[in-house]
Amino acid sequence: MAMGGIGGWCESGAEGRPTYRLTRSALLRGLGVVYVSAFGSLAVQLDGLIGSRGILPAAEFLDRAGQILGTGPATYWRLPTLFWLDASDRALHGVCWGGLGLGVLLIAGILPGPCLALLWLFYLSLTVAGQVFLGYQWDSLLLEAGLLALLLTPWCLRLDRASDLPGPFAVWMFRWLVFRLMFQSGVVKLTSGDPVWLTWKALDYHYQTQPLPAWTSWYFHQMPAWFQILSLVFMFYAELVAPFFIFGPRILRRIGFLSLVLFQALIAASGNYGFFNLLTAILCLSLLDDRDWFRVTLAWREKTKRVDRFLLPPKPWSWPRRVALGVVAGIVFAVTAGQTLETVWPVVVVPVPIQVVSQWLEPLRIANPYGLFRVMTTDRPEITVEGSDDGVSWKPYRFRWKPGELNRRPRFATPHLPRLDWQMWFAALAGDCRSAPWFLRFEQRLLSGTPEVLALLRENPFPDRPPRYIRARLSLDTFTRWGSKDWWVSEDVGLFCPPRDGGG
């Protein structure tokens, strides 16, 4: 080692190269935290979303898919989920709570390899069965990160006792993922041709039109024009410039790390995006190597008398494992490099073999394109669902997180992701309920008074029995200005879904 003891181990590997033991430990345990957040958030919504009495029951979905596509290897690959075996409520909850428990074990560093393999399989199964409710980019991001974690993890009993040296290429694949996530998100804003981005006015609208604003969003919205432009400059820096620091020397990687984590912190401070910002910040840990952790860990290791564990000579990876890493990582890199080229230069034609492999991998969600807020919405259409017993007097259903009452302060939900509230935002953008078929199922559950679906709401105006009629109105909502007692101003624009009769 170039230096004695821990200092030498943290400074370089056997050939003077940086090492990644502490980075790997922090990265994998951090993914455990994200998995716990994701599974825990989903567990409390599962029955109402995809349970047997939910809005889009998983069992019905798979039965219908089997009837249309047939039951065989091709269908199972197209829809890879454990719930082909059993899609009952008990199975759904078993997988969800099992994932939460495995996430806790991963945080503790116990059996990291098997835990990560099962976590990936469980979350993929829920993502497929969850249909539209688990179709967000961060669901795919977690699955892609989970696969890369399998390439990085030691297969041992305890993570802190692993003697192998993490391969630099496995760490590099995480860096490549961070680069693609950020860079593609920046590029699509410019290539979309959206005039709101091109005229630097996007943040004049973003804080009030994002899916689930927080109370801080109101204050960000009140900021002067110079502040919004300065914020936009930093955003484009974080998405288009800082990602290139990932592949630079150590000092640039540190600057990139701080820039990207600060960017995620600002996003998290101004809105609700579930576990996305936490996951992205944890992936950014791959930009560090063990030298960056040295001062923090040395004092703790000496205090707890555990220095000796880190003086053990590293064991090289076996050739089968190196080959497996190279094959999987090479395939993922080839596909995602093609996606990135298409994002930057849409006229580029990706070679046919890579297109075929990309289509083949698509069901697994392990090589994904990214690009958040390609087009900035300038209006906030908001849906109000109402019930009535006589078709004349209407009472609104109140949601837990999305805007409703004008004087109710927006709330933080992070890292919880209220998926029904998020889908209401997408449905409102569609313009009417015919463009959001799941919404009709949602209304039918309200007409039936289904407890599992009503549990997703904050307030049921018909606690004794369901209403005879249901309808949905559409409004345009905007933030108020300084001095108002309310948070929102609302302008009714008509029906989103006409009245439906649920009576017999």
**Range from 247-251, 310-314, 328-332, 454-458 carrying the lowest mean pLDDT:** 310-314
Helix (H) or strand (E) holding 386: strand 381-388
- Map out the domains of the chain as residue ranges: 170-288+339-372, 381-501
CB of 456 within 8 A of CB of 420?
Answer: yes
CB of 350 within 8 A of CB of 337?
Answer: no
pLDDT tens figures, 266-286: 999 999 999 999 999 999 999
What's residue 432's pLDDT?
87
Mean predicted lDDT score pLDDT of the chain? 91
CB under 8 A, 24+ apart: contacts of 432-435 = 432/495, 432/496, 432/497, 433/472, 433/496, 433/497
Per-residue b or e along 201-225, where b marks 16 or more CB atoms closer than 10 Å to that residue's CB: bbbbbbbbbbbbbbeebbebbeeee
Q: How many residues does the chain have?
A: 504
What's residue 6's pLDDT?
38
The sign of the CA dihedral 50, 56, 61, 63 is positive
Beta bridge mates, 388? 469
Confidence grade of residue 311 (pLDDT, cut at 50, 70, 90): very low
Quote the CA–CA distance of 39 and 331 in Å, as a whole number: 28
Confidence grade of residue 297 (pLDDT, cut at 50, 70, 90): low
Percent of the chain with pLDDT over 70: 92
Quote the CA–CA distance of 198 and 189 in Å, as a whole number: 8
Q: Nearest to residue 284, comparing CAs of 370, 119, 184, 171?
A: 171
Quote the CA–CA distance of 163 and 494 in Å, as a whole number: 65
Angle between helices 58-69 and 112-129 (to 10 degrees): 80
Quote the CA–CA distance of 109 and 150 in Å, as a whole number: 14
CB of 395 within 8 A of CB of 462?
Answer: yes
pLDDT tens figures, 337-391: 999 998 888 877 888 999 999 999 999 999 999 988 899 999 999 999 999 999 9
pLDDT tens figures, 103-147: 999 999 999 999 999 999 999 999 999 999 999 999 999 999 999
Confidence grade of residue 296 (pLDDT, cut at 50, 70, 90): low
Confidence grade of residue 19 (pLDDT, cut at 50, 70, 90): confident
Confidence grade of residue 206 (pLDDT, cut at 50, 70, 90): very high
What's residue 328's pLDDT?
87
What's residue 23's pLDDT?
92
Q: How far apart are the first and last CA of the chain?
A: 81
Specify the pTM: 0.93
Quote the CA–CA distance of 239 and 280 in Å, as a whole number: 13
Quote the CA–CA distance of 216 and 196 in Å, as a whole number: 22
* pLDDT over 90 at 409, yes or no: yes
* Mean pLDDT of all residues in 233-246: 97
